[in-house]
Amino acid sequence: MIRVLHPRHGIHAPTSGTPPRLPGSVRRTTTIDMLRPDGIRGPLLLEGRGRDLATGAEGEAEARAAAEVKAVVDFFDGWKLTELTTSPERPALTPLVGQTVGSGFRRRLEAAEPGLADLGPLYQLLDDLPVATLVSGHAIGAAESRYPKAGPSSHRTGFLADQCAGFITGGTLMTGVVEDGRPPVVTGPDAHPLPDPADPLGWHPHGPLPPHSMRRARRIDVRPGAVASIDVLFRDSYVLEDGTETVIHEYTVAAAAADGVLVSCEATARVLPWTECPGAVASARRLAGIPLAELRDHVRRTFTGTSTCTHLNDTLRALQDVPSLLGLL
């Protein structure tokens, strides 16, 4: 089937496969599947899985941590979280049920269980729930060939002008919102599989997706040294009606750290929705010289506006976990 691409689509250069695991390194992989088993207008089911895998000097692999999250969100009722289960179990998170996974969720998560960020991939999965919910709205627009009209409560559906490069006033997305009450539908390229058949341990187990579902996939490879090397992949994908998986957002990041501080940080845009989106890529370089322990707070406070990207920001915030990953070695 020939797909018609939007004439103002952004970069279409997705990665192919995954680099080999290096001896003496550690790899974190996570996925969040965005599913609607009761139909495209039904509840949003978020199923997350993650694993930290250490690779020894002789190439032997050992899982050091694993986690799973299942969350049900009422997408059309303020993104209300109606169910939450985790493995390992965290009873302290029960009060989050009944509240929104939108604005303030990450602060409530940290308040519910301080120190959760130090407990392996579970925190990453939970931290991804707000933006995974936001991104999942693409499935509605793509399945119905149009998004619901934004109307006067557009801030609730994420269509707030100038919040990032892709939402810049006068850009492709916001022009659609202003003129038609909804943004244009993203038309991404085919997704190349990330797992390498030659290395079945390279990713944690995860299966194929049904039509009109989405997935957020992350990989962080860290190798210690006087200057630790960091290699990152971030991808959001969507499955068409015919089963073809397409990429909506994809970044890679090459970074280095020494003595708990980022020495360098270079992002590369692989797939982005609109022509305006690559304007955010250079923002990653601003993290050079920032302590790793301060990254999440620093990005949240200072990476705002049209020089940044919501999805790149999420990618960069995750670098705060590099010291704990190095500790697994």
Task: Quote the percentage of the chain above a pLDDT of 70.
Answer: 95
More confident call, 134 vs 160: 134
pLDDT, residue 62, reads: 95
Query: Mean pLDDT, to the nearest integer, of 212-240?
Result: 97
Q: 6 lies in a domain?
A: no
Q: 57 lies in a domain?
A: yes
- CA–CA distance, 45 with 56 (Å, rounded to integer): 36
| Residue 148, pLDDT above cutoff 60 | no
Q: 14 lies in a domain?
A: no
- For residue 45, report the phi and psi dihedrals to the nearest 5 degrees: -105, 120
Q: 129 lies in a domain?
A: yes
Note the pTM of the prediction, 2 decimals: 0.91
| Residue 149, pLDDT above cutoff 70 | no
Instruction: State how far the alpha carbon of 43 is from the alpha carbons of 25, 93, 103, 134, in Å.
Output: 39, 21, 19, 14
Q: 271 lies in a domain?
A: yes
Of the pLDDT bands very low, low, confident and very high (cuts 50, 70, 90), residue 1 is: low
| Residue 259, pLDDT above cutoff 60 | yes
Beta strand 245-258 with 61-74 is unpaired
- The pLDDT mean for the chain works out to 91
DSSP state of 189: P
288 lies in which domain range? 25-327
Domain count across the chain: 1
Q: 15 lies in a domain?
A: no
Q: 189 lies in a domain?
A: yes
